[in-house]
Structure 1
Amino acid sequence: MALARAAGRLRHQPGMCCNGPVDRTDAPPRADDSAPPEPTEAPELPPVPAWLDEPTGERALAWAAARTDETMSAFTDDVDYLRLTQDLQEILDSPDRIPAVTEAADMVYNFWTDAAHPRGVWRRTTWASYAAGAPSRPPRPDDASATEWEVLLDLDAERRRRGRDLAWVGAQVLQTGPLAGRRALVSLSDGGTDATFTEEFDLEERRFLDATEGGFRKPLSKGTLTWGADGDTCLLSDDFGAGSLSPAGLPRQARRLRRGQAPRDAEVLITGASDAIVTRASCDAWGRTWLMSMGGLGDTRVWWLPDDATVPAGQKAARRALAADGENVPADAIRIEAPPSASIGVGAQWLTIQLREPWEVAGRRYEPGMLLGAPLSQWLHGERDGLEVLFAPTSSSFLSAATWTRHHLVLTVLDDVAGRLEVCTPPSRWESEAGEHAADRRQWRHHWIDLTGAAHRPSEAEAAAAPDPTELRPGRPLLEVTAQAVRQRDTDYLFISASGWTTPPTLTLARLTEVGEVTGMSVLRQAPARFDARGVRVSQHVAVSADGTRVPYFQIGRPRAGADAGTGDGGTTSVPAASTPGAESQTRGASPGPTLLYGYGAFGTSQTPCYQPLTGKAWLERGGTYVVACTRGGGEYGPGWHLAGTARERHRVVEDFAAVARSLIHRGVTSAGQLVVHGASAGGLLAGEMLTCHPELIGGAIAEAPLLDLERYTRLLTGAMWRSEFGNPDDPDDWETMRPLSPFHALVPGREYPPLLLLTSTADDRVHPAHARAMAYRMRALGLAVGYVEQTEGGHAGTAISAQRAATTALIHAFAWRAATRRHRRDR
């Protein structure tokens, strides 16, 4: 594994300290240079051998290893690359990182990696001990209040014991019954794959329970094993044999397994239709059982299963259900009436429904993006008059997440892609308060949580600087905030985390009062700065896409001579009214420089402000500018923003990304030769699309775990579940719009392309490594510049240990810097 070898080589060198919106200055691009090139009669593309499809085929692995060695040989003797790798690993292994924790049975749990434990240790401590370690510095050896951790599982030792390349996936500690806090279900994988195995773990004896002891187990598969309502039952979805897996390779049947019972004898809770993508069962914090079947992305049905429901059991019942084409649930199960595209949530007594499409119910119409709430019991019994609108989106704001505490609903709202928190309190919590008017008692209360103090505000000099008409709402804090219920079953405590592009994360514990106000907020941890952010300015701008849509993007970096001045994390954000396109560049006299542009644009995933210490150390400290685009296909502005970039509208994502590139070039931030694009997974597809559709705009591209062959993706691993996102290549009309965007097919023999770096993993069982292999093979056959690195482990994430992640991150930024500077020098 070349990256691992590079990291190892470094450690043996003593003394080495190594390693949505309008842009006044951007006219909408012309139709003739904004759209992907139409397929034309051209020389036939070089064929790719079928053996590259075999993930662990001997010939394919030999080819991948040879290409990886070729690529890495250009970096492993570079002292700057080696120093950067070491610097990044020190950040990843630093002892004063914030230990992210979850609470269970009055203890807090954390999974931790460091130089001594590269695979990690699972550990726990008491609340008092965890709080004693605040705020940010590691405790002194003589400090009696130092945090004390009890190590439950050493994954490095377990790896040696089993002789397997184990990677941590997660653990679920039992929270109810006599075994609460004494048992857990621990999930691991082989090398970071999506396929996992789960085994019951004794927390007191610190060991896995054998099946002969009645321990719960799930073999390696893409299914799940979770606790039922008590410690004697589990809910299992798995590969149960013939017909039990969906076209995407995911389970289509879920069963309730009792302690000591064989899976073949378990109760059959739900069986999805033969074309369903995945089917599962789960138990909520209050002990209720829920069933779910997903026919595709945006097509989900949910049922509540009463405790006294009659449920068939045994192998005959299971096989009979799997043999049927249709969906099968117990007769007593009650389906939650809601659009199949909606997201369903439950609290102790309330149901929430977040809409992605218009919905009419009980004579009223509700719009996409709305969050609706209703008393759960009444809804289950068919009453529809208690539905309340808890959140309604605006042109700039969208509900990103919602989490219940015992008595409150906490919303994370994106307001022009910056986060804020709102607490919604149901009327039952305060309706009896003295002094409340009777007419108001049925209304939910709403409180904002003020986190503006967590972000840097612009200095007087920055505030007095000449305004840039492309910026959005200058001076407003740009934050990523998250809220997580500590123990939603019976408390109103929250973990609140906040960070910005140059502001390290702060972890706070807060308590909500009966009326939803915050009290007792205290800082548990505050991470130190990991890179030199002095002079780094943060701003948010807008570009104009081909159809006139305003596309926001974040810009982080030190202004060069004459370049536009943004702000710190008190940056900018918002979608102002359209301004006159074609205005002169705001950055007259600027000195363009190396710029790394990141994008994703799929699955409704939002690109929000967050502290990125590795990018800060590897790119910003070196003088580069980092840019993150918020294209359509993402979730920054709600369902409409996402859907506008899916299926036959996928070209809009590419147009948005290209518009951001043009904006950066037009504003003088960078030049085409100095601009490198980067994306991972679906973002890897976007990087490949930029390479093949708009090579004139960039100096290089980096694609991690990329989806590149749109003709075959539905037949590779879990690709079948993404049809609604990227289109159906088996539909001739869909394929007509998809082919120009499929990087593997859009290459044109004889055309010049900037260099491409492809990174993938043999162990990626989500996006098949054949995507990257075939692209690299074809580009090499065409005589094009392409680097290729394939890890042997790491799965879809691409990295299993910090040394591997540090080496990969260093490679990405070293490649980007070379591409940005070499092509720029050549162009000059």
Structure 2
Amino acid sequence: MLSSFSRRALTAAASLLILGALPLSTQAQMTNITTTAKQTPTNPNIAKADVADPRQYLEEVEGEKALAWVKAQNERSLAHLTADPRFAQNQADMLKIVEATDRIPSPSFSKGGHVDNFWQDKDHVRGIWRRMKKVMYLGGSNSWDTILDFDALAKAEGKNWVYKGASCLPPEETRCLINLSNGGKDAVTVREFDVKTKTFVEGGFSLPEGKQVVTWKDADTLYVAREWTPGEVTPSGYAFVTKALKRGQTLDQAVEIHRGDKSDMMAYRTVIRDVAGRYVIDIAERRPTFFEVDTTYYTDKGEVKLPLPLTSEMNAYYKGQAVFSLKDSWTSAKGTVFKEGSVIAFDLFAALKDPKNLEPVVVFAPNDHQSVQGMGQTKNRLVLQVLSNVTGQVMVVNYEGGKWSLTPLRLPENSTLSLGSLDDETDELFVWSSGYLQPSSLYLADAGWGTVTNLKASPQRFNAEGLKVEQHWATSKDGTKIPYFLVMKKDTKLDGNTPTLLYAYGGFEVSLTPSYSGGIGKLWLEKGGAYVLANIRGGGEFGPKWHEAGLKTHRQVIYDDFQAVAEDLIRTKVTSPRRLGIMGGSNGGLLMGVQLTQRPDLWNAVVVQVPLLDMMRFHTLLAGASWQGEYGRPDDATEGAFLKTISPYHNLKAGVKYPEPFFVTSTKDDRVHPGHARKMAALMEDMGLPFLYYENTDGGHSAAANLKETAKRNALEYTYLAQKLMD
């Protein structure tokens, strides 16, 4: 068990990846890492105003002039979209889906043979944290015991609290640090909670709002990385100073225990524990860039570093073995070459005693069409979630007698498989299976015995009769084959008239796989639309090389891949530019902006969700500097020149006929600055170009703080798509 977080956990918290990983209609993801970076021009991470840009005032998130512009655009766009009778029906259908009480309660193993669940419905808009005995859950019971009601808490305190997860002190896990966000921002307030009494601890740990990494050292000590003094953050707006905070101390009494470099993306000190929650060792992690981590181990003999590449990541401490994943290929001191994407392991304390002779062994080496998507531990086993040709597999790993062995679990084939919760008191784990036409099913597996039981299946949320799923391959400009999934009616006439929605992400090594979405099914597929998911480069579907092919100045291949899929759909007469629309969020929002400006001839609808669009200033806004490892540095002559060629904000041209895009963002998004969407839309306004715009005042990077907002946003988007592609 790592108290620190893996690259993928960091991704979820400190990057663009939450929104882009799935269409917004399917997301229910929460984050834990947050920042105190202010969203005003006084923020040191926001550059001085560029007088050459008359729209820069829109970067002042709560500025009076900026909000007046937002209000006017919201009123104009909402009046147009909500007047369409389809909006009300879409909203009602979507609300019924997201508030459905017959959903599978997503289970999380907790101590003492319990299962926990975070639940939202029409009566619990903000949600409740609840618990029952595992044996009761497995038996189909719905008799939950509420631990904490966030709707009641918000009402009592007059706050728009959004639950952002909890960190409980092992091994008992009865004291938890609850992360509460005001309106869905990444920035959270952290408060100590007693699960036994179901109350916040009087006089307990309480940290004011901030983007902070908080770790339990012991019952009376926290390691806290945050903005301790104004401006004491990295260019990305994240903490780089960690202090030990003792119970009863005020923040100004905390003692500094680690300081990274101010030039880092972020830095913090934390601890490694074994699967039973026992303390193993202190570590500090400096993250110079998004894809690098420099780890220091605090041993009895002092600080030690291991001769591993910065792009390696520790994912587990298992039976005394440190288990790492390699993003890049690596050659050890003894000359052994380890393939990129491999999982390797070695005796941690033997390595710390003699770092020069570190020689790992390979636990799993992927082929060219495989990648490791996740990793977890039960009491006695390690478990890998593997993607092979964009389909899932779960591998059980055992280490016995100095040898490693891997055994696949017998789960549904040709399905998207994802790890749920893993039990550290037994060898049980939950696994989810899903597909475009297959509602999510929950399986209980035993990693020790290899048994698998189908526990529950979600009800159908739309009529899938007569629909089919196909995988095709398009050829990109450089000859690379790009896979994509196509969902449409079996009797679709290939005459170019099918309304088609194309979705992709293309960045940060995020893999997109087939998944069930009641919203897409009900609001689009049922109405005769086709849905396409493109597995373009920049993602992680085929491992690190697939991602690195589109890094920095090579990024045009990502956009070429997307265009190649579109052209393949048109060539095969699935659709035509008149009937083709595209959608993407966050990094996918950048993808949409590039496609709008590079190939306006290919689309008739473009949904641009919480996007990056000004690629010459992204590094100055909020967490933007942390993404320079992905996009490059605007202040670098070569990288900056390339970014200027793709930056949507800098590539709108007079005299070009653009499709009317729909920009969606949130005032409370403290990760990707809403100024991106605002400025792009305002530029189109100044150029006399048509556009629609909706900015939710709450919601954070998901652009929705609760289920009702989620339903409204989806209804707006699919009403727009119907107008553009079906009418």
TM-score relative to the length of structure 2:
0.89
2-structure distance, mates of 1:129, 1:334: 47
- Is the aligned partner of 1:379 residue 2:314? no
Tell me the equivalent position of 1:512.
447
C-alpha displacement at 1:561, in angstroms? Answer: 4.2
Candidates 342, 349, 365, aligned match of 2:337: 365
Please tell me the residue identity of whatever aligns with 1:225: V
- Is the aligned partner of 1:167 residue 2:162? yes
Candidates 200, 208, 227, aligned match of 1:219: 208
Tell me the equivalent position of 1:17.
none
2-structure distance, mates of 1:128, 1:398: 34
Tell me the equivalent position of 1:388.
361
- Is the aligned partner of 1:298 residue 2:305? no
C-alpha displacement at 1:386, in angstroms? Answer: 5.2
Tell me the equivalent position of 2:36.
none
2-structure distance, mates of 1:334, 1:70: 60
- 8 Å Cα contact 1:104-1:174 kept in structure 2: no
Candidates 335, 350, 370, aligned match of 2:305: 335
Tell me the equivalent position of 1:781.
686
Tell me the equivalent position of 2:29.
none
Q: Deviations over 1:655-688 (max 9, x none)?
A: 0000000000001111011110100000000011
- 8 Å Cα contact 1:253-1:268 kept in structure 2: yes
Q: What pairs up with 1:444-483 in 2 under 5 angstroms? A: 444-452=404-412, 477-483=413-419
Please tell me the residue identity of whatever aligns with 2:311: S
Q: What pairs up with 1:400-411 in 2 under 5 angstroms? A: 400-411=373-384
Q: Secondary structure at the match of 2:709?
A: helix
C-alpha displacement at 1:254, in angstroms? Answer: 1.7
Q: What pairs up with 1:428-827 in 2 under 5 angstroms? A: 428=401, 442-452=402-412, 477-488=413-424, 490-513=425-448, 517-519=449-451, 521-563=452-494, 590=495, 592-822=497-727
- 8 Å Cα contact 2:107-2:421 kept in structure 1: no
Q: What pairs up with 1:99-110 in 2 under 5 angstroms? A: 99-106=105-112, 107-110=114-117
Please tell me the residue identity of whatever aligns with 2:196: E
C-alpha displacement at 1:382, in angstroms? Answer: 2.2
Q: Secondary structure at the match of 2:640?
A: helix
- 8 Å Cα contact 1:417-1:608 kept in structure 2: yes
Q: What pairs up with 1:170-189 in 2 under 5 angstroms? A: 170-176=165-171, 180-189=172-181
C-alpha displacement at 1:605, in angstroms? Answer: 0.4
C-alpha displacement at 1:99, in angstroms? Answer: 1.3
Q: Deviations over 1:551-601 (max 9, x none)?
A: 1111111134444xxxxxxxxxxxxxxxxxxxxxxxxxx453100000110
Tell me the equivalent position of 1:60.
66
Tell me the equivalent position of 1:257.
245
Please tell me the residue identity of whatever aligns with 1:270: H
Please tell me the residue identity of whatever aligns with 2:400: P
2-structure distance, mates of 1:302, 1:536: 50
Q: Secondary structure at the match of 2:568?
A: helix
1-structure distance, mates of 2:492, 2:187: 51
Q: Secondary structure at the match of 2:236?
A: coil
Tell me the equivalent position of 1:81.
87
- 8 Å Cα contact 1:485-1:492 kept in structure 2: no
C-alpha displacement at 1:760, in angstroms? Answer: 0.5
Q: Secondary structure at the match of 2:302?
A: coil
C-alpha displacement at 1:46, in angstroms? Answer: 9.9
Q: What pairs up with 1:275-314 in 2 under 5 angstroms? A: 275-283=263-271, 284=273, 285-288=277-280, 289-306=282-299
C-alpha displacement at 1:47, in angstroms? Answer: 4.8
1-structure distance, mates of 2:347, 2:328: 22
Please tell me the residue identity of whatever aligns with 2:214: L
- 8 Å Cα contact 2:174-2:195 kept in structure 1: yes
C-alpha displacement at 1:273, in angstroms? Answer: 0.9
C-alpha displacement at 1:51, in angstroms? Answer: 1.9
2-structure distance, mates of 1:337, 1:193: 38
- 8 Å Cα contact 2:189-2:209 kept in structure 1: yes
Candidates 218, 223, 229, aligned match of 1:235: 223
C-alpha displacement at 1:253, in angstroms? Answer: 1.3
Q: Deviations over 1:629-664 (max 9, x none)?
A: 111111111111101111001111110000000000
5+ residue gaps, structure 2, are 1-50
C-alpha displacement at 1:226, in angstroms? Answer: 2.9
Q: Deviations over 1:460-517 (max 9, x none)?
A: xxxxxxxxxxxxxxxxx532111245233x432211111111111111222122xxx4
Tell me the equivalent position of 1:414.
387
Distance 1:740 1:153, change over 3 A: same
Please tell me the residue identity of whatever aligns with 2:532: V
Distance 1:800 1:401, change over 3 A: same
Please tell me the residue identity of whatever aligns with 2:708: A
2-structure distance, mates of 1:272, 1:759: 36
Distance 1:693 1:50, change over 3 A: same
2-structure distance, mates of 1:562, 1:821: 15
Please tell me the residue identity of whatever aligns with 1:405: T
The alignment's C-alpha RMSD in Å is: 1.8
- 8 Å Cα contact 2:369-2:543 kept in structure 1: no
Tell me the equivalent position of 1:97.
103
Distance 1:294 1:181, change over 3 A: closer
C-alpha displacement at 1:256, in angstroms? Answer: 2.6
- 8 Å Cα contact 2:551-2:630 kept in structure 1: yes
Could you say which structure has the higher strand fraction? 2
Distance 1:46 1:660, change over 3 A: farther
Q: Deviations over 1:141-173 (max 9, x none)?
A: xxxxx3211112221121122212111101123
Distance 1:77 1:538, change over 3 A: same
User: 758-767 or 117-126: which moved more?
Assistant: 117-126
Please tell me the residue identity of whatever aligns with 2:479: G
- Is the aligned partner of 1:113 residue 2:120? yes
1-structure distance, mates of 2:74, 2:612: 19
Tell me the equivalent position of 1:580.
none
Fraction of identical pairs, as percent? 34
Q: Secondary structure at the match of 1:147?
A: coil
2-structure distance, mates of 1:369, 1:610: 24
C-alpha displacement at 1:242, in angstroms? Answer: 4.5
C-alpha displacement at 1:615, in angstroms? Answer: 0.6
Q: Secondary structure at the match of 2:716?
A: helix
Q: Secondary structure at the match of 2:146?
A: strand
Q: Secondary structure at the match of 2:403?
A: coil
Please tell me the residue identity of whatever aligns with 2:100: S
Q: Deviations over 1:795-825 (max 9, x none)?
A: 1110011111011111111111211135xxx
C-alpha displacement at 1:291, in angstroms? Answer: 2.0
User: 534-543 or 70-79: which moved more?
Assistant: 70-79
Tell me the equivalent position of 1:123.
130
2-structure distance, mates of 1:731, 1:560: 52
Q: Deviations over 1:517-540 (max 9, x none)?
A: 413x33333211111111111111
- Is the aligned partner of 1:202 residue 2:194? yes
2-structure distance, mates of 1:261, 1:102: 33
Q: Deviations over 1:688-719 (max 9, x none)?
A: 11010011111111110000000110000010
Distance 1:282 1:100, change over 3 A: farther
Q: What pairs up with 1:347-362 in 2 under 5 angstroms? A: 347-348=317-318, 349-361=320-332, 362=334
